[in-house]
């Protein structure tokens, strides 16, 4: 190895060491309670790296040092805080209808964690899961007397409490804050999980009624924002966690999800900004982007009929004629088959939320579920036409609008 290459590798080793050291001590400064653990996981690979430089030379030492850094980061990300008696609020509103309910971190072991949304789906499963692990769960439900709430009362421990909470009702949100504050008192509030969400009728963006756009934004975005803002004083006091359950449709454009995807994209952006702004308070924020899971968010047959009727009645006559009645009726068929392509096992989502709540260094973004990360990678790193082609092959509708079928037939005749 010539002198120039040796010097270059030497300076590179110094640069990597300096960058790693600065990041470690900056983190330790922001979280003094973790200083001992951070020093342990930083000094060990640094000392081993310097030892390898002395024994193996600059090149080999740099390789070993970088490997040790990666191992220490991986082990640090896997480290979880003890549950203690932390408490969570879970919000959930699966459908837009009243008929379907929907100092040091080690010193904060007595904190509460609040979960909003526990009538059905992810919120319901999460409430049970966290209760089994020993959390004090405060489950916000849309219908406190519904079957989902009754099952939680029957199957969970006495630590769990139910809270009547419609995230679109400012009065209920304020009342929830007062009740939670009185419950947690000096022990504090560890986290909030914003899981409330509605889907609406998946359809072409041109066909979706404006009322559906507004409802999706009201529940999926504004509800989560208002709840977060209301409870942030408690989270700042505890240096706790804010977890927002978004969607794969909030990170990449998917056909028929214009209303739902736009609202979840807004929630994802809100999560990212809050993650940056709240870091100075020691509050960690994470967004969850699950792929397709069977949660019941698509609603019931009665709700589909109501949404379909509203969609058709609000369409201009020329638009309804261009698309055709058969194309519009096929939208409900898409909902019927939707659960067949969704995973019934919610454990990947529950595991991601748990990691976001307890990890000493949680990720800013989680993508649980099969195939959740691949479309995001294609969207981010490939030309858009590649992504559009990929999605069209995956999600292309079976039926074609009436005008396009007529045009195709006419072209074949010519």
pTM: 0.74
Rounded to the nearest integer, the mean pLDDT of the chain is 76
**pLDDT surpassing 90 at residue 178:** yes
Alpha helices (H) in 217-257, listed in sequence order: 224-238
Q: How far is CA 328 from the centre of its chain?
A: 31
Q: What's the rounded mean pLDDT across residues 185-195?
A: 87
pLDDT at 288: 93
**Would you mind telling me the total number of residues written for the chain in this entry?**
414
pLDDT at 169: 92
pLDDT at 119: 45
Q: What's the rounded mean pLDDT across residues 164-184?
A: 92
* Most trustworthy range by pLDDT among 29-43, 196-210, 226-240: 226-240
Q: What's the rounded mean pLDDT across residues 275-282?
A: 96
In sequence order, what DSSP letters do the residues of 65-99 get, joined into one string? Answer: HHHHHHHHHHHHHH-B---TT-EEEE----SSSTT
pLDDT at 118: 45
**pLDDT surpassing 50 at residue 265:** yes
**pLDDT surpassing 50 at residue 117:** no
pLDDT at 100: 33
Q: Of residues 261 and 86, which shows the higher confidence score?
A: 261
**pLDDT surpassing 90 at residue 218:** yes
pLDDT at 63: 63
Tokens of 263: 């609202």
pLDDT at 105: 32
Buried b or exposed e, range 315-328, using 16+ CB within 10 angstroms: beeeebebbbeebb
pLDDT at 272: 96
pLDDT at 23: 59
Q: Which of 10-24, 313-327, 370-384, 391-405 has the lowest mean pLDDT?
A: 10-24
Which residues are the active-site residues? 260
Q: Give 108's pLDDT tier (boundaries 50, 70, 90).
A: very low
Burial label for 380, CB within 10 Å (0-12, 13-18, 19+), is: exposed
Rounded Cα gap, residues 412 and 393, in angstroms? 23
Q: What's the rounded mean pLDDT across residues 70-86?
A: 67
pLDDT at 340: 59
pLDDT at 244: 96
Q: Give 376's pLDDT tier (boundaries 50, 70, 90).
A: confident
Q: What's the rounded mean pLDDT across residues 300-315?
A: 71
Topology of domain 87-379+381-394, CATH: Rossmann fold (3.40.50)
pLDDT at 194: 94
pLDDT at 32: 41
Rounded Cα gap, residues 156 and 75, in angstroms? 33
Rounded Cα gap, residues 136 and 300, in angstroms? 31
Question: pLDDT exceeding 70 applies to what percent of the chain?
Answer: 64
Three-class secondary structure of residue 193 per DSSP = strand
Listed in sequence order, the residues at least 6 apart from 280 whose beta carbon sits closer than 8 Å to its beta carbon are 30
DSSP letter for 251, please.
Answer: T
Q: Of residues 170 and 65, which shows the higher confidence score?
A: 170
Domain ranges of the chain: 3-78, 87-379+381-394
> pLDDT by residue (tens digit) across 26-53?
544 444 434 444 455 555 556 666 666 6
pLDDT at 20: 60
């Amino acid at each position: 190895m010539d002198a120039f290459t040796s010097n270059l590798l030497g300076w590179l080793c110094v640069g990597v060491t300096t960058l790693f050291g600065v990041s470690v001590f900056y983190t330790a400064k922001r979280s003094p309670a973790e200083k001992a653990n951070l020093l342990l996981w930083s000094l060990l690979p640094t000392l081993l790296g310097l030892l390898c430089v002395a024994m193996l030379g600059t090149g080999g030492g740099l390789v070993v040092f970088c490997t040790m850094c990666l191992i220490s980061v991986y082990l640090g990300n896997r480290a979880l805080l003890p549950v203690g008696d932390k408490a969570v609020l879970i919000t959930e509103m699966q459908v837009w209808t009243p008929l379907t309910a929907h100092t040091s971190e080690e010193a904060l072991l007595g904190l509460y964690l609040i979960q909003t949304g526990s009538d059905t789906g992810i919120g319901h499963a999460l409430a049970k899961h966290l209760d089994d692990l020993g959390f004090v769960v405060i489950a916000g439900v849309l219908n406190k007397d519904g079957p989902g709430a009754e099952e939680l009362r029957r199957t969970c421990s006495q630590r769990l409490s139910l809270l009547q909470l419609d995230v679109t009702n400012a009065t209920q949100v304020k009342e929830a804050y007062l009740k939670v504050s009185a419950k947690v008192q000096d022990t504090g509030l560890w986290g909030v999980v914003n899981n409330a969400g509605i889907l609406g009728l998946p359809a072409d963006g041109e066909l979706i009624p404006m009322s559906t756009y507004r409802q999706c934004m009201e529940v999926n975005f504004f509800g989560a924002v208002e709840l977060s803002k209301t409870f942030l004083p408690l989270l700042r006091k505890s240096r706790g966690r804010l977890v927002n359950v978004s969607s794969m449709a909030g990170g990449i454009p998917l056909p028929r999800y214009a209303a739902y995807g736009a609202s979840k994209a807004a929630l994802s952006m809100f999560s990212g900004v809050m993650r940056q702004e709240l870091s100075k308070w020691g509050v960690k924020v994470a967004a969850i982007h699950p792929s397709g899971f069977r949660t019941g968010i698509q609603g019931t047959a009665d709700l589909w009929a109501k949404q379909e009727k509203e969609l058709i009645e609000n369409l201009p006559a020329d638009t309804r004629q261009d698309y055709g009645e058969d194309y519009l009726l096929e939208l409900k068929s898409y909902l019927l088959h939707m659960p067949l392509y969704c995973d019934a096992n919610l454990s990947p989502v529950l595991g991601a939320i748990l990691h976001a709540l307890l990890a000493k260094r949680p990720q800013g973004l989680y993508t649980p579920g099969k195939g959740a990360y691949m479309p995001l990678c294609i969207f981010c790193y490939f030309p858009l036409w590649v992504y559009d082609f990929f999605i069209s092959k995956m999600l292309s509708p079976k039926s074609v609008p009436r005008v396009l079928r007529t045009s195709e037939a006419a072209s074949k005749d010519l």
